[in-house]
């Protein structure tokens, strides 16, 4: 190299421990099922809470029931998306190595999530991530990834 140069060298006195920590981290990243199970539980609870607050993930209130429907609705008249509680009751998640899927098997769940203009049913999203949900996901991921590595890297 012509001109001026600066040589930087790093000496790691506990290289075997650092290598083991990285290998452990790599192993935890290969199968994230435990992380996705925790995320699934957390998001399931947060999604169920949306039925209590009657709000979308972005915090906006769900559209009110139509006056015509409120006249014929026999139960839970004040609760949107709740007649018998089946939609909320069927919310579940499936966690795997690379993803978690949260939802309901009920076909009419899609109608309520996205709306149906033909039948004049507005979208009332109950699935999705709020800003605080995103932070919760990051916290869960961080907890899992740092659980065994924290002590090795705390001094660096």
pLDDT along the chain (156 residues), means of 10: 67 76 78 93 97 97 95 94 96 94 96 96 96 94 73 44
Rg of the chain in Å (alpha carbons): 24
- pTM of the complete model: 0.77
Give yes or no for a contact between 100 and 40, defined as CB atoms under 8 angstroms apart. yes
pLDDT of residue 88: 97
pLDDT of residue 31: 87
Reduced to 3 states, what is the DSSP secondary structure of residue 71?
helix
């Amino acid at each position: 190299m012509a001109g001026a140069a600066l040589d930087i060298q790093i000496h790691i006195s506990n290289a075997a421990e650092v290598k083991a920590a990285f290998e452990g981290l790599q192993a935890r990243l290969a199968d994230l099922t435990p992380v996705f199970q925790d995320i699934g539980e957390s998001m399931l609870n947060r999604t169920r809470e949306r039925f209590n607050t009657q709000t979308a993930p972005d915090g906006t209130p769900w559209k009110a029931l139509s006056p015509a429907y409120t006249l014929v609705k026999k139960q839970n008249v004040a609760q949107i998306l709740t007649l018998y509680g089946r939609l909320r009751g069927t919310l579940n998640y499936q966690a795997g190595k690379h993803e978690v899927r949260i939802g309901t098997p009920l076909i009419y769940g899609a109608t309520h999530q996205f709306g149906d203009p033909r039948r004049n049913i507005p979208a009332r999203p109950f699935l999705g991530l709020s800003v605080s949900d995103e932070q919760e996901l990051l916290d869960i991921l961080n907890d899992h990834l740092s659980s065994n590595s924290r002590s090795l890297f705390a001094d660096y």
